[in-house]
Amino acid sequence: MTDLIALEGLNKYYGDYHALRDIDLTIPQGQFFSLLGPSGCGKTTLLRTIAGFEAPSSGVLRIDGRDMKGVAANHRPTNMVFQSYAIFPHLSVAENVAFGLRKDPRSKEEKGRAVGEALEMVGLGGYGNRRAHALSGGQRQRVALARALILQPKVLLLDEPLSALDKKMREQMQVELIRLQRQVGITFILVTHDQEEALVMSDRIAVMFEGEIGQMDDPETLYRRPKSRRVAAFIGLMNFLDARVGGEVSERKTAAPERPTDDPMLTRFRRQIGLLPKAPKALPEYVSGIEVEVAGLGRAVLPKERVPEALRHTGCTVGIRPETLAVLFEGEQTTSRTVDGVVDEVVYYGDMTYYDVRIEGVEKPLTISMKNLIGRPVLEVGAKTRVAWDERSLVPLGH
């Protein structure tokens, strides 16, 4: 895969306001890429810069290897789906879709066929003669998609395309957009403030804060291994615990229980006569890693690569996702480590229950999500419980 879009040291100022700060970014051909961030983080400015509606103050933008400096929006191989869809209300659906073909040398019949195909592709076959203002929100969006895709751009830019739709429609359109993107193979760049939308749809996500890219990764890495506290807080729910990071340790793993054997004399005899292979010399198992003392949970040893160099021998924050914790119901056994806690708040969602559990040594209660499996009770506020946790789900973060 070649890089279709390359941004190098891109900056944008509005007067004194620094809207984009040193953006370096490459997007390969065919990727579904998302710009995610809170409002005012510069994601829309970045998208509009790629589209050609804003000129960068400094830096280079290349699309398909070509420097876009001085190239106006109407000469770029990009097309955009606007947040408001910007469907031309004085034209019919077909005229809207055909708008970009005005300078196309093809015959009227050929264009008409292309329009029909584009409408078919977005599921609006037979809607060509409708007036644009008689369409629902979802239909308008489909028209906007057809209108952009009919020009076969190298990049399709989507500016919060789903924010105007209701929840059901939004979820449906998410799936349709993914399907469409796979079908046409065009690079999509999506701007959204909805982290769930970004996680569901993207191959890769850039999380932006205050004009900078905070982290750029695939959805799973972004969710499971956020690199900073603000990324962790922005994406999904995360509990934050104070922690102290120590140095490197190497220690013997808790000894596994001896395998029960039958008569040891008999075993030795069998080995001697060659019925059993020689016993391998048992090497002691060591875990080596970085020692972390987590408030409320206790001591943990994390693999070296999971603890950034900068955090060693300092105070830091450890993140832990609600679904990687578990409340233990009465009589339930576990092999995980546990701490005692008291249920502070219960929020019932139907398929899930969210508990806030207060544990000793931590000011803010831990949020824990539990699937409501068959036969599993819902605890009440004030109930005493134990919280099971796992070293593997701890994410060390800078302050």
Partner 1 sequence: MSLRIYAIAYLIFLYAPIALLPIFAFNDGTIIAFPLQGFTTEWFAALATTPALHEAVQNSLIIAVTSAVLATCLGMCAARAGTMEDFPGKRGVLGFIMLPLVLPEIIVAVSLLVVVVRVFGLTLGNWTIILAHTLICAPFCIAVLNGAFQNLDRSMEEAAMDLGQSRWGAFRLVTLPLVAPGIISSLLISFTISLDEFIIAFFLSGNSPTMPVYIWGLLRFPERLPVVMALGTILVALSIVLLTVAELMRRRGLARAGLKDTGGFL
Q: Of 80-88, 247-255, 304-312, 334-342, which segment contacts partner 1 by CB under 8 A?
A: 80-88
- Is 83 among the residues that bind partner 1 (CB under 8 A)? yes
**Within 10 Å of residue 66's Cβ, how many Cβ atoms?**
11
Q: Which of 104, 200, 215 is nearest to 151 (CA)?
A: 104
Distance CA 341, CA 382 (A): 10
- Pattern of binders to partner 1 over 143-172, x per CB under 8 A? ----xx--x---------------------
Binding to partner 1 (CB under 8 A) within 12-51 occurs at 51
CB of 42 to partner 1, least distance (A): 18
CB of 72 to partner 1, least distance (A): 7
Distance CA 134, CA 124 (A): 13
Amino acid in position 361? G
Q: Which is nearer to partner 1, 7 or 81 (CB)?
A: 81
CB of 164 to partner 1, least distance (A): 12
CB of 85 to partner 1, least distance (A): 8
78, 181, 202, 317: residue in contact with partner 1 (rule CB under 8 A): 78
- Is 133 among the residues that bind partner 1 (CB under 8 A)? yes
Q: Which of 290, 360, 351 is nearest to 323 (CA)?
A: 351
CB of 62 to partner 1, least distance (A): 19
CB of 193 to partner 1, least distance (A): 18
Amino acid in position 73? A
318 pairs with which residues across the strands? 241, 396
Q: Which of 4, 317, 40, 336 is nearest to 153 (CA)?
A: 4
Residue 231 sits at φ, ψ, to 5 deg, of -65, -45
Q: Of 98-106, 208-216, 284-292, 324-332, which segment contacts partner 1 by CB under 8 A?
A: 98-106
Kindly write down the DSSP assignment for every residue of 174-233, as one continuous string.
HHHHHHHHHHH--EEEEEES-HHHHHHH-SEEEEEETTEEEEEE-HHHHHHS-SSHHHHH
84, 163, 334, 336: residue in contact with partner 1 (rule CB under 8 A): 84
Contacts to partner 1 by CB under 8 A: 51, 53, 72-74, 78-80, 82-84, 86, 88-90, 99-100, 102-103, 131-134, 147-148, 151
